């Protein structure tokens, strides 16, 4: 009977050792995975801020383009283009050009 108790103790000690090693491996893998996920989270946050900034810039550009489009549908725009590009003026206007 003494032999049986020694082998049971050895098996019990070996089982405990294996369980401890398994728990340590699981903890190590978990810590590594958490670290990787944290790193990815920071990278995604930076990407998110960059994309939000681009969205804001695109919205501002869109507003400017809409304002430009509205201006292009006005009589003032037609007059400005006629004066600048074609050199046209109203009959009662006096054009003063700088000497070159």
Domain tally, the chain:
1
- Which has the closest alpha carbon to 50: 60, 39, 58? 58
pLDDT digits over 88-99, tens only?
888 888 877 788
99 is a domain residue = no
User: Alpha carbon of 29 to those of 26, 49, 81: distances in Å?
Assistant: 5, 30, 69
Q: Collect contacts of 13-16 with beta carbons under 8 A, ≥24 apart.
A: none
> Locate tokens 């190590």: which residue?
28
pLDDT digits over 21-51, tens only?
999 999 999 999 999 999 999 999 999 999 9
The parent domain of residue 70 ranges over 2-85
95 is a domain residue = no
**What does the alpha-carbon distance between residue 95 and residue 100 come to, in Å, rounded to a whole number?**
15
Is the whole model's pTM more than 0.75, yes or no? no
**What does the alpha-carbon distance between residue 86 and residue 80 come to, in Å, rounded to a whole number?**
10
């Amino acid at each position: 009977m003494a032999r049986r108790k020694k082998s049971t103790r050895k098996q019990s000690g070996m089982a405990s050792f294996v369980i401890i090693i398994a728990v340590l491996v699981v903890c190590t893998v978990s810590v590594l995975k958490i670290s990787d996920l944290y790193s990815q989270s920071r990278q995604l946050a930076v990407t998110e801020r960059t994309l939000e900034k681009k969205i804001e810039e695109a919205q501002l550009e869109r507003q400017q383009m809409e304002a430009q489009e509205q201006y292009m549908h006005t009589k003032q725009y037609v007059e400005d283009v006629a004066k600048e590009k074609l050199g046209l003026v109203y009959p009662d206007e006096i054009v003063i050009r700088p000497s070159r």
